[in-house]
Amino acid sequence: MSEPDVYSWYGICRAILCPEPQKGRLFETSAYRFRAVTGTCTSIMKKKELEKRGFDVCLFDANEPELSILSTLKSYTHLLVSIPSVVGIGDPVLRHGDLLRSTLMDGNLQWLSYLSSTGVYGNCAGAWVDEDAVDTIIKQEPFSKFQKMRVSRQYTSRVHVEDICQALKASIYMPSISRIYNIVDDDPAPREEVFAYAEELIEKKWPTWVRRSTSSERAISCEKKGSSTGEKRVCNERMKTELAVTLLHPSYRSGLLSIIDQMENPFQSSPFQS
């Protein structure tokens, strides 16, 4: 399907974003290609704030959902879910799985994406992991040498929001069935290194705003963070190969620089908008 075909196809589509529109910046920058775009949030205050920015928003609490809201899903063609999981429960929306299944099967759904966390891979001691590791974890089998290449120290993966958006956009153009993609950058660097670079950028632009932390303070902070999320380096080869995604920010350096440059106007147009 060529890009013009996709754009005309969007003309009869509706999209809903859960839980919050800013998590779906792809649709903010591409909303004119959808007939309607709706987002959800959990508080009236947040709803009013988002509506002031031009979003169509409805209240939705995954823990105590209004069933009438779930029933409206049948009118939407695209559904992006990024509701955080709950310990011991997982995705709280799936507690209403039977209703969701019947609603979506009787509706117009063409595309569904769930944004999860690389935390599902657990602590891999800095090893490289790919998407097949999810099946390994579910089956409680040891990682293969391809899923876990080598051990190293305090690494974590990250990605810029613009690259999340372009990956989602690519998955709409090239839909697949039940495919998992790791949306991360090419540079899973140690946290201490990333924090040090972020401090350098902030200090350069706003020299009086921050107190530079010592290397020991950063190390303690990184150690605490690492103990809660687990160390791993996540491979993004499938995303780049199958979705033909060329990262806008392949390293934390360009990603952080972009954030600093856009700090005063974080919702400006993205370079992939057209």
pTM, entire model:
0.76
Predicted local confidence at residue 135, as pLDDT? 61
| Domain 1-115 identical in fold to domain 120-274 | yes
Give the residue, 62 or 200, on which the prediction is more confident: 200
CA distance 181 to 164: 11
18 strand-pairing partners: 81
Q: Take residue 85 and report the two structure tokens written for it.
A: 């999981």
Nearest to 113 by CA among 83, 90, 142: 83
Could you give the percent of the chain with pLDDT greater than 90?
21
Could you tell me where the beta strands, DSSP code E, fall in the chain? Answer: 14-18, 36-41, 56-59, 78-81, 111-114, 128-129, 233-234
Predicted local confidence at residue 180, as pLDDT? 92
Q: Are strands 128-129 and 111-114 parallel, antiparallel or unpaired?
A: unpaired
For residues 200-226, give the mean pLDDT.
Answer: 67
Q: Which CATH number applies to 120-274?
A: 3.40.50.720
Please check the confidence at residue 10 and state whether its pLDDT lies above 50.
Answer: no
Place of tokens 């309607």: 36
What is the average pLDDT score of the chain? 75
Domain locations in the chain as residue ranges: 1-115, 120-274
> Is CATH 3.30.1660 correct for 1-115?
no
Please check the confidence at residue 91 and state whether its pLDDT lies above 50.
Answer: yes
Q: How does residue 176 score in pLDDT terms, banded at 50, 70 and 90?
A: confident
Q: How does residue 198 score in pLDDT terms, banded at 50, 70 and 90?
A: very high
Question: Which SS3 state, helix, strand or coil, does residue 143 take?
Answer: coil
Place of tokens 């069935």: 177
Predicted local confidence at residue 11, as pLDDT? 34
Q: How does residue 249 score in pLDDT terms, banded at 50, 70 and 90?
A: very high
Please check the confidence at residue 48 and state whether its pLDDT lies above 60.
Answer: yes
% helix, strand, coil for the chain, step of 5: 45, 10, 45
33-37, 47-51, 81-85, 246-250: segment of lowest average pLDDT:
33-37
